[in-house]
Structure 1
């Protein structure tokens, strides 16, 4: 099997995995927002790096059920949400209709958006970069889609990094015979791990590795922001104890970068 076919295979697997999760995606803390404290944390972070929307054009890649899309809309951006899972887009459109928001949704690949060159002021994404088969190519695509002076805001983390809480979770499982609380079934967790083993960031994804690829794509003024404690604390309070503890110690970050212009 050649590399192109291998890439298409993993891309299809990723799309199918998230499509199957679409129906229950918003039930998980860390996906949908379950407190005003968390909402304010996200709003603070968006305004810190991107400022007020003032009608500027924003592209939310791998928008899923449109959680970040709605936050961006609330900050005053004219938002387009892009996802290649029809099931996710169906949830996103239903949510937007219920909330009365005029977010535009399109079906597309975050690594090859097919959106017009130089057409967006801002690109956002959350928990997307770790799933990319070819992040270097994707970042060049995002660079091309942005207007001169436009910014990309990446919300992600080095979730594969071992923490002392993960060690505690493994000990709990060994002693009790019960797996740590998870929002995924064992079968879905196995598929998740299979996908992770085949993407570019198959092991760890430190922020520095993402920054290097952004710089190679032409981005400048790159800022890594690890001050997300208000968001993580609000999420942790809605989680089972060990999962909440893990959320507080994980290496999560926001990365903001600018296209020169």
Structure 2
């Protein structure tokens, strides 16, 4: 794939990230862990959201880096009035088409998650899934998310460390790759366009969490950005168990071993 960077143009890291996710849009929903593949998984996500955010009851939620709208729809299921932002137009096209097909009143707009251009204190909830590990400047992003939340509003981050593997993960990953090379199992993920793995690795080497987004490090940055009551939830077993049913045995086992988590934080109330 020929990028502006390769051509010598003024093509920066943010542009490359945008281009990468735009190219991934066509097959994004076909991979387990992206779209919801079962009612069991949908309920597991609902339970996680209710546990930390409660039901929406008309409250306003901002879904950052919404992609094809998977989390936006889960929030809509639970009674939130949802706005989804993403800077990859092909992702948004699929999100809008999905919402139209399902009859959902979700607004999707193009915007940068690190500079949303949304009004101050306009959302009760901000939610992200698998965004933080890609951030170029997480301090700026967290400050931006704090700005758009109403006092007392809640941030929910669902993410993981996809760089540092435990010994168990490495063994399982190696075995899964070997079985796939021998033709004994099929790939769980839809093949990405040619050259995408190289672009992914180049992006990863330049983002803030290039050495892995550990929950404790992310939580510390969130707290230092002005959030309060920051907590880490690593009990995502129900979601991983539901997803594993659509993966090969070893890939499903690996999913459960990964360092994945939810971080919840609140914007402090104003002093009276």
TM-score (norm 2): 0.89
- 2:7 aligns with none
Q: 1:158: Cα distance to partner?
A: 1.2
Question: Does the 8 Å CA contact 2:87/2:112 hold for their aligned counterparts?
Answer: yes
Question: Does the 8 Å CA contact 2:176/2:250 hold for their aligned counterparts?
Answer: no
Residues 113-168 of structure 1, C-alpha deviations (whole Å, 9 max, x = no match): 00001100000010000000000110000000100000110010112121323234
- 1:200 aligns with 208
Deviates more, 1:163-172 or 1:94-103: 163-172
- 1:4 aligns with none
- 2:5 aligns with none
Paired residues in the alignment total: 256
Pair 198,41 (structure 1): closer, same or farther in 2 beyond 3 Å: same
Question: Does the 8 Å CA contact 1:156/1:253 hold for their aligned counterparts?
Answer: yes
Question: Does the 8 Å CA contact 1:25/1:31 hold for their aligned counterparts?
Answer: yes
Q: 1:251: Cα distance to partner?
A: 0.8
Deviates more, 1:188-197 or 1:43-52: 188-197
- 1:236 aligns with 244
Q: Does residue 251 in structure 1 map to residue 255 in structure 2?
A: no
Give, in whole Å, the separation in 1 of the partners of 2:165 and 2:107. Answer: 39
Deviates more, 1:172-181 or 1:104-113: 172-181
Q: Does residue 149 in structure 1 map to residue 157 in structure 2?
A: no
- 2:163 aligns with 160
Q: Does residue 29 in structure 1 map to residue 32 in structure 2?
A: yes
Q: 1:175: Cα distance to partner?
A: 8.3
TM-score (norm 1): 0.93
Q: Does residue 212 in structure 1 map to residue 216 in structure 2?
A: no
Question: Does the 8 Å CA contact 2:172/2:253 hold for their aligned counterparts?
Answer: no
Question: Does the 8 Å CA contact 1:172/1:178 hold for their aligned counterparts?
Answer: no
Pair 30,257 (structure 1): closer, same or farther in 2 beyond 3 Å: same
Q: How does 1:113-124 map to 2 (within 5 A)?
A: 113-124=116-127
When the two chains are superposed, the root-mean-square deviation of aligned CA atoms in Å is 2.0
Pair 75,191 (structure 1): closer, same or farther in 2 beyond 3 Å: same
Give the counterpart of 1:41 among 39, 44, 52.
44
Q: Does residue 139 in structure 1 map to residue 147 in structure 2?
A: no
Q: How does 1:61-210 map to 2 (within 5 A)?
A: 61-163=64-166, 164-170=168-174, 173=177, 177=181, 181=187, 183=189, 184-185=191-192, 187-210=195-218
Give, in whole Å, the separation in 2 of the partners of 1:114 and 1:42. Answer: 28
Runs of 4 or more, structure 1, over 3 Å off, are: 171-182
Q: 1:80: Cα distance to partner?
A: 0.2
